[in-house]
């Protein structure tokens, strides 16, 4: 009941949080990219049926709110760790042709549909086999040096500590961090718990599946548990 109450905007006193919850996370009006995302997701789903052990495809609902979050913050460059079929990447790139994606995905060749989907966005996609390579390239961009925007879909256990250290840095630089699949992946849950518990400023929003960290130092420290 508490989640339901907050999800409707009741009891949220921060103007930023109120607007973000109602106009971004829970927005129900259609956007120009929704039809394209639906088609790409259907194609990925059809092609993935041939794999015996295949990871889940991002839901259309999740793809839509990922699009809305990126549309709201409008970052110039995005760092993404893990993608599987490329649909989550497309959800962000569909916002604007001016966005460049730095994708860390060692298994990108495992699913050919990934290259097919990402080919729609031309040279705005940069793929790296490891987090170390991707973060180095991303950090050299003006956006990566100032107000970073990071999406975490999946991580390798051996890179957990390095990624957590980098995300602490992103948080200290007023960045935005999105962590997906926290209900299905204990490492991602641990990552989210560590970042949330260590924060002293900024706001977080979660539906227990995805967590959004807006680490702006000008915002008071608040955690919102919602439905979106």
What is the predicted pLDDT for the residue at 52?
Answer: 54
Residue 73 and residue 99: Cα distance in Å, rounded? 12
The answer, yes or no, to whether residue 4 has pLDDT greater than 70, is no
Give tens-digit pLDDT for 34-60. 999 999 999 998 887 766 566 789 999
Q: Which residues of 37-53 are buried (b: 16+ CB within 10 A; e: fewer)?
A: beebbeebeebbeeeee
Give pTM, 2 decimals.
0.92
| Model pLDDT for residues 87-105, shown as the tens digit of each residue | 999 999 999 999 999 999 9
The distance from CA 130 to its chain's CA centroid, rounded to whole angstroms, is 18
Give, in degrees to the nearest 5, the angle at Cα 176 between 115 and 90: 20
Tens digit of each residue's pLDDT (9 = 90 or more) over 75-84: 999 999 998 8
CA separation for the pair 102, 134 (Å, rounded): 6
């Amino acid at each position: 009941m508490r989640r339901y109450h907050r999800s409707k905007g009741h009891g949220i006193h921060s103007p930023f949080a109120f607007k973000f919850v109602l106009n971004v996370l829970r927005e129900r009006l259609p956007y120009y990219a929704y039809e394209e995302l639906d088609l790409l997701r259907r194609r990925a789903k059809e092609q993935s049926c041939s794999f015996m052990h295949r990871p889940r495809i991002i839901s259309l609902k999740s793809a839509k709110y990922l699009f809305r979050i990126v549309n709201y913050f409008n970052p110039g460059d995005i760092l993404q760790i893990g993608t599987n079929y490329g649909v989550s990447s497309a959800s962000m790139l569909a916002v604007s042709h001016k966005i460049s994606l730095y994708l860390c995905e060692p298994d990108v060749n495992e699913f050919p549909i990934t290259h097919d989907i990402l080919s729609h966005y031309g040279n705005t996609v940069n793929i790296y086999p490891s987090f170390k390579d991707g973060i180095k390239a991303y950090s050299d961009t003006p956006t990566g040096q100032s107000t970073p925007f990071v999406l975490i879909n999946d991580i390798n256990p051996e890179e957990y500590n390095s990624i957590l250290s980098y995300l602490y840095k992103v948080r200290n630089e007023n960045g935005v961090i999105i962590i997906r699949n926290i209900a299905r992946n204990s490492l991602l849950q641990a990552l989210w718990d560590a970042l949330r518990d260590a924060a002293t400023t900024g706001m977080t929003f979660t539906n227990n599946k995805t967590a959004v960290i807006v680490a702006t130092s000008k915002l008071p420290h608040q955690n919102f548990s919602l439905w979106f």
